[in-house]
Amino acid sequence: MSFSNDFETRSLQWVFTAGSPVRPTAWYLALYTVAPSDTGGGTEVSASGTAYAREAVTFTVSGNTATNSAALEYATATATFGTVVAVGVFDASTSGNLIAYASLAANKTIDTGDILRIPAGDLDVTLD
């Protein structure tokens, strides 16, 4: 995963300045049909009529890697999500700030009736 420019700036402010940003207390995983970039953007799966919503995610940290500590399961799609090509970690269930993002190793089409599951330990955020 890569960190967004906004999050990199807020991280530097937190480390090096007084009155720095407040640390997020919750994280949410978004699904994208067009990948975001360092500056944000991309196309998040539409919540309109699909039952899609960002899922809360928790992490454990070991060394330079944060890994999802529990499985994530999205609601059964009531309409196609489209082809998911990337994910993003946000600090809010809607809107909010993109913290990190990554393209999937393999794109995944989510059709009506499908349930997307991400097992515990399958989502890594690594600092190199």
Provide the 3-class DSSP secondary structure of residue 51.
coil
pLDDT in tens, 32-84: 999 999 999 999 999 999 999 999 999 999 998 999 999 999 999 999 999 99
Q: Band of the pLDDT at 127, cuts 50, 70, 90?
A: confident
In this prediction, residue 53 carries a pLDDT of 98
Domain segments of the chain as ranges: 2-16+24-119
Asked whether the predicted pLDDT for residue 20 surpasses 80, the reply is: no
pLDDT exceeds cutoff 90 at 22: no
Helical (H) or strand (E) element with 44: strand 43-44
Place of tokens 């890697």: 65
Query: Helices marked H in 1-128 — which ranges?
Result: 5-16
- Looking at every residue in the chain, the average pLDDT score rounds to 93
Give the rounded percent of residues in the chain with a pLDDT score beyond 90.
76
Which structure tokens are listed for 30? Answer: 């978004």
pTM, two decimals, is: 0.90
- Which pLDDT does position 105 carry in this prediction? 94
